[in-house]
Amino acid sequence: MCGILGIWAGNNAGRAEIAKLPEALKAQNHRGPDHSDYKLYSRLGMGHNRLAVIDTTEGANQPFVSEDERYCLVFNGEIYNYQELKSQLLAEGVSFKTQSDTEVLFHLLAREGKEALSKLNGFFAFAFYDQKRDELLLARDRMGIKPLQIYQDQDKIIFASELKTIFGFEVDKTLNDSALNQYFSLTYFPLGNTVLSNCKELTPGSYMLIKDGNFNHPIQQVYWEPNQQKVSDYEESKKRLNELLNQSVEKRLVSDVPIGSFLSGGLDSSIIATLAKDHKSDLETYSIGFESQFFDESSYAEEVAKKIGSKHYAFRLNQQDFKDNFDEFLDSLSEPFADSSAFAMFLLAKKTSQRLTVCLSGDGADELFAGYRKHRAEYEIRSMNGLKKWMIKAGAGLFRIAPSSRSDKFGDFNRKLQKFRDGLRMDPALRYWEWCCFIEEEDRQNLLVNPVYQGLNPFLHAGEFYDLNDVLEADQRLVLAGDMLKKVDLMSMASALEVRTPFLDHELVEFVNSLPASYKINKSSTKRILRDTFANRLPHSVVHRSKKGFEIPIKEWLNDEIELQLSRHWFSEAYIKDQGIFNPLFIKELKLAWNNPRFGDKIYLVWALLVFQSWWDKQMK
């Protein structure tokens, strides 16, 4: 797990920028504190920050360069099947100097180029240069676990693991208005978009090829789409799921540094920790909880840890933890990212990294197996008759004026009831988009001076959402890649912690995506096949309790200091007018409305503003 950076010059002005690479590389030292180095060519510079996990010796440092300097590789991630690939290369006469997966990837790319991508099992973002052919290959793993930002103007193409690293060069900082609207809808930038017009994120499962003559229009291709597999009956599918997930966990336990597992107490992380304990007798597990009982789940994690016999570490957060770490958390954000649970992930990674370098997590299961509450709601809407729909509309209408928020039981119930009622009136595609949004359309339209509305992005490819599997596959492209995996990468790498996700092994993803939706959700259960497969391994309380999102008590924690935060110069009328992004009158109304009991989920709009203004002040001033 590392950070990569590079710049390809399209002309003399671009060549002059290459000299800035060594200094720019320092901006992502947190991603790889064990070693940092770079390689410069006449039209290309490539840099690397290393977090040593497999073969920690100096010989495995990067950039990895051939003796004749024809080939150069910078690589972020892990190749789990590197030993198998190495055996094949040895049989073909290739010799090795290290025990690293980096060298295996290097030789495979030197022999096969982009065709090697289909052979890789792992998570990665890398750049591979062939000096003889003057050709640069950029690639990203199938699910988008590792990031790769790509900036382009008339002089240069820059690629990096984090957006703020790109600011080490002379770049156009024009905002992407449409993406900004998406951020103030979803709280993150989805589907390859970034906050800058000239910068995109390479989409999962794709590569970019830059070579002499195609600088202005590099070749970009998708190299992976999930294959449909033959589906067995339910019982046989359970056996296959157990087999694939066991294999995935075992592969992800290979490490030359200490490795453990996150354990939230939810179904997904509990399964991963249980399987990991089968292969690692001295497994350590880590969880984070809250002194606020409404948000705390740590007791379930402790129950699982006791059952499997792991050495468990639980961290309970309170409002003082929030205050003490708030500014450091904001500093860690390379780009605007306002999923509030990122703060909990930031502290969990910070505390866990004091003992470990690598951790397994249960990320991805919700998007694969229909684990979110919106999946349950979608199933109910598709299943219920007209009379029940009418009764829900009428009942929800009675509570229309009552407070709704995520911060207490009644408010959360009413929030979900109102969203469900509104969803009854929408077609499936619009309902999907609105249920993904954390911020109301009226608020985001009033907030932005230029509220360019894009709505349901055409890259979702989900057609009319005929089946619940269409919804899950859309979630994998939108929510998983744009929110969940981005959160884990940003927050874990801020503390140089590598996080591995067994549910996202591409062979497992292909299998699960081929299963009928009825295997995943029915009238009595979400994540049906997952629960049934592992029910005998987990406490009953974990298997059968309902989903609770990984959220923080943001309203409670911000309440005592919200006026302090909103009084920062970021929210002054002069600052807002100078920015030209937000409506000053709406910002003023938002500040005055904070103590109104009907403020509700506008807290997420305030949070998104805080995050954005902090980022803007650091990167755009």
Which residues are designated catalytic?
A: 2
Six-digit token string for 95: 């010799």
Q: What is the 3-state secondary structure (H, E, C) of 234-293?
A: HHHHHHHHHHHHHHHHHHCCCCCCCEEEECCCCHHHHHHHHHHHHHCCCCEEEEEEECCC
Q: What are phi and psi of 219, to 5 degrees?
A: -75, 125
Distances in Å between the Cα of 417 and the Cα atoms of 439, 526, 584 are 16, 19, 32
Q: What is the 3-state secondary structure (H, E, C) of 3-27?
A: EEEEEEECCHHHHHHHCCHHHHHHH
CB of 4 closer than 8 Å to CB of 74: yes
Give CA–CA dist 236/229, Å, rounded.
Answer: 14
DSSP state of 103: H
Distances in Å between the Cα of 261 and the Cα atoms of 269, 272, 311, 550 are 8, 8, 10, 17
281: left (phi over 0), alpha (psi -120 to 50) or beta: alpha
Angle between helices 409-424 and 428-436 (to 10 degrees): 160
Give CA–CA dist 200/151, Å, rounded.
Answer: 6
Give CA–CA dist 547/369, Å, rounded.
Answer: 12
Q: CB count, 10 Å around CB of 336?
A: 24
